[in-house]
Amino acid sequence: MKRIGIDVGGTFTDVVLIDDGPGRIWFTKVATTPQDPARGALEGIRKIVSQAGADYAEIARIGHGTTIATNLIVEGKGARTALLTTKGFRDILEIRRVSRHDRADLYDLFFRNPAPLVPRRLRLEVDERIAFDGEVLQPLDPAQFQDLGAVLKEAGVEAVAICLLHAHVNPAHEQAVAAFLQKALPDVFVTSSSDVNPEMYEYERTSTTVINGMIGPKCKRYIATFEQEVGRLGIDGEVLFMQSNGGLAGAPLVMDRPVTLLESGPAGGVTAAVKLCRRIGVENAITGDMGGTTFDVSMIHAGRPQLRTSTVLQTVTVRTPTIDIESIGAGGGSIARIDEAGGVRIGPDSAGAVPGPVCYGRGGTDPTITDCNLILGYIDPDGFMDGELELDIAAARRAVDVHLARPLGVSIEEAARIVRSIGSSLMAQAIRLLTVERGFDPRDFAYIPFGGGGPVHAIEIADELDIDHVIVPNLPGLLSAFGMLIADQTYDLQQPVLANLDELTPARLQALMADLKRKADDALAAGGEGWSGAVARYSADCRYAGQAETLSVDIDPAADVTMDTIASGFAVEHQRHWNFTRKTAPVTLVNLRLQVTLPTVLNIPAQASGAGDEVKPFRHRAVVIGGERQEIACYRREALGAGTTIAGPGIIEERSSSLVFTKDWTASLDGEGNIHVKRNP
């Protein structure tokens, strides 16, 4: 069966085609076309199909990771959106939680406060009120609907977000307003908070719904166009979109809730890593994706990606299940400089893809992490991007000399080494924060680096964190596109409960779970799927009464679910996270969640060639390790066979990346061709 994965990046779009019959894989790169995003993606499809000599009719699935949703917000190009709120509350979106936003330095009198997503003149109030328990305190006045419709029409909005107080408990008013507007304004994208994010806390629910509205019209159009154009090529296989939760979903399920696409791009790589872990029997792993401007970290525990229920985009809270990815400004293009008191600083500003690092020779003048890695020998000047881009090491040395080495009074190599080490330490710290904040110890995890730069810092990061096992997957630069193709289909559903466990009964819980399952039936049917082969996973967000943050506890629907099992599951989680429990405090069940998964079955073609009995380095290359220049043996990855073992120090080079491992490590290839680098006992 032939399947295509497409990952749209900032500069390039990666495309992968796998034919799991004969076990073959093709990949290509095309330019991303931000003005008309579908064009680049379709170009990629045409190119890869022709490269593989395939027939369009043979393509059974296209998995598409898209940055369209994120870009609309980041670039401020969202639709002209109006917000309808309960009377007296139109400023919730602007007031937020009154405190300064998460990015503001609290000593900064000049901090930038982004303008509210919807200008005040487009925030309208509805005469109505529902109490916290769902009781209607003031009924809707249908006479007001006409006026609202007229104002919205006059304002020429493209989308309307509706978020009324306590609508997660009683959505009737939102539904009535939405139904009216859908009829009165058929061309406008209408979205309600009780559909998008039925969950307590009005600011977060409002901002999530407004974001959904702002990206709605364009995402909907993009999804429709993309499907249509793919069909026009002669592909009648399924077209699926990568969601923030790491699962794929068909157009009918994401069209009205494009907010689930916001982290579509970054989710692909992590999802591919999850699948890799399952295939090779690794339970716990940390992933590190080093790109041009950022280093993105995520965590796989017990074979599953860690999800979070809310995320912050441009200081705005968005609540939707998202693969838990932390990002820091330490990518290959991050600029190193000396501050006024002689300290070395990296990022957050980056040379990005244009002009890029100094060594790219595209006009960059500030030394970057990539320039330093090149000087030290961690990047091969000749083999970069298969030799498509020649790296100018002399220019990199000059930039490091002028901006770093001279001011510091050290050699060029020493200055580069300082930058590389600080960079590695920042990345290690990001990993530590991610794991420790969630109650884990990084030493219990393997490390999976990917992205072109990932392997370049992998061993130093593992050393810093006392991690013993590094796994460099096949085609690390393409892992994300690979993820688009092998991810499962997943749907997330949620239901507010807001009751203490001691007030609930197993029967009531079963009834709530059955409600969720019915909603899932509808979602599956909308996607043209059934339950055959589907896996349902229930979980409960719980907290001690009085707390705000919840922890998620799995519920096994097959087992006898009692409130005690949920309570003890919660206690275990709480102990792990925070080192204490409260034996007498009531536990509140806040939300019930259901994730339905339709697994993707695919045989992964092995990338290792031949038998790996004898390996010889194809050359030696100088690398600065720990302040010392050493001649290290280089191997070509594509020449290594399954079972090959190489004792460190060594370099394994491949298209667009290279891995340097020191004498304390030994590398070996598994049957798929993944490189396992293990610390010597």
Partner 1 sequence: MLDRITYEVLRSALYATAREMKVAMMRTAASPIIHAGGDVSAAIFDAEMRLVAQGNDIPTMLGSAVISTRESVLAVGRDNLRPGDVIISNDVYLGGGNHQPDIQLTRPVFLDGEIIAFVMTRGHWTDIGGKSPGSFTPDTWDIFGEGVRIPPVFIYRNDEPVADIMSMIVHNTRNPDACTLDILAQYAGTFCGDRRLQQLARKYGAAALGETMAEALLYSERRMRAQIEAIPDGVYTGSDYIEPVGDAELIPIKVKITVEGDSICFDYTGTAPQVRGGVNCPLSVTCNSTWFAVKAITDLSIPINQGCYEPVKIIAPEGSLVNCVYPASVVSGNTETSPRIIDLLLRTLSSALPDRVIAQSNCAACCGIFSGDDPDLDRRKAMRRTYVSTIDVHAGGMGARPDKDGVSAIRVLVGNAGAQPVELIEHNSPLTIEEWTLVPDTGGAGRWRGGCAARRTYRVGFEQATCTVIAERGRVAPKGLFSGLAGATFNSSIERRNGETKTLRAKSEQEIIARGDRVRIQPAGGGGYGDPLERPAQDVWSDVLDGYVSAESAERDYGVIVSAGRLDPGATEALRHQLRAHRGG
Write out the residues near partner 1 by the rule CB under 8 A.
87-92, 94-100, 105-110, 112-113, 119-121, 131-132, 137, 165-166, 200-204, 339-341, 343-344, 408, 417-418, 421-422, 425-426, 429, 432-433, 436-437, 498-500, 503, 544-549, 574, 577-580, 582, 585-586
Q: How far is the CB of 259 from partner 1 (least distance, A)?
A: 20
Alpha helices by DSSP H, listed for 402-453, are 406-408, 412-437
Which amino acid does the sequence have at 641? G
- The rounded distance, in Å, linking the Cα atoms of 185 and 6 is 35
- In the complex with partner 1, which residue's Cβ is closer, 567 or 615? 567
Under DSSP, the state recorded for 403 is: I
Judged by beta carbon, residue 132 or residue 618, the one nearer partner 1 is 132
Choose between 28 and 85: whose C-beta lies nearer to partner 1. 85
Residue 75: CB minimum distance to partner 1, A: 21
Shortest reach from residue 345's CB to partner 1, in Å = 8
Q: Rounded to the nearest whole angstrom, what is the least distance from the CB of residue 315 to partner 1 in the complex?
A: 12
Q: How far apart are CA 263 and CA 289, in angstroms?
A: 14
Q: Which residues does 41 contact at the CB level (< 8 Å), separation at least 6?
A: 6, 8, 13, 64, 66, 226
CB of 19 to partner 1, least distance (A): 46
Q: What gap in Å lies between CA 270 and CA 542, rounded to an integer? A: 26
Q: What is the dihedral of CA 351, 352, 356, 358, to 10 degrees?
A: 30
Rg of the chain over Cα atoms, rounded to whole angstroms, equals 26
* E strand intervals along 32-68: 59-65
Expressed in percent and rounded to 5, the helix, strand and coil fractions of the chain are: 35, 30, 35
Residue (251 or 408) nearer to partner 1, CB: 408
Could you say which DSSP state residue 552 is in?
E
Structure tokens at 297: 């970290």
Compute how many other C-beta atoms are within 10 angstroms of the C-beta atom of residue 519: 15
Q: Strand pairing of 81-86 and 159-163?
A: parallel
The residue (of 414 and 554) whose beta carbon lies closer to partner 1 is: 414
Q: CA–CA separation, 409 vs 235, rounded Å?
A: 62
Distance CA 571, CA 550 (A): 12
What's the min distance (Å) between Cβ of 453 and partner 1? 20
Of 180 and 544, nearer to partner 1 (C-beta) is: 544
Least spacing, CB of residue 597 vs partner 1, in Å:
28
According to DSSP, the residues that pair with 125 across neighbouring strands are 85
Question: What is the nearest approach in angstroms of partner 1 to the Cβ of residue 461?
Answer: 12
Kindly tell me which of 290 and 434 has the beta carbon lying closer to partner 1: 434
Cα separation, 562 vs 539, whole angstroms: 13
Between CA 306 and CA 297 the distance in angstroms is 11
Looking at residue 603, its amino acid is: N
Crossing angle between the packed helical segments 264-280 and 479-486, to the nearest 10 degrees: 80
Nearer to partner 1 by Cβ, of 495 and 609: the residue is: 495
Indicate the residue among 204 and 492 with the shorter CB distance to partner 1: 204
Nearer CB in complex with partner 1: 386/549: 549
Provide, rounded to whole angstroms, the least separation between the CB of residue 282 and partner 1.
25
Q: How far apart are CA 357 and CA 333, in angstroms?
A: 6
Q: Measured from the CB atom, is 432 or 519 closer to partner 1?
A: 432
Backbone φ, ψ for residue 290 (5° rounding): -100, 115
Listed in sequence order, the residues at least 6 apart from 215 whose beta carbon sits closer than 8 Å to its beta carbon are 68, 69, 72, 73, 78, 79, 258, 259, 261, 262
Smallest separation, CB 144 to partner 1 (Å): 17
> Which C-beta is closer to partner 1: that of 327 or that of 421?
421
In the complex, least distance from residue 119 CB atom to partner 1, rounded to whole angstroms: 6
User: Minimum Å distance from CB 87 to partner 1?
Assistant: 8
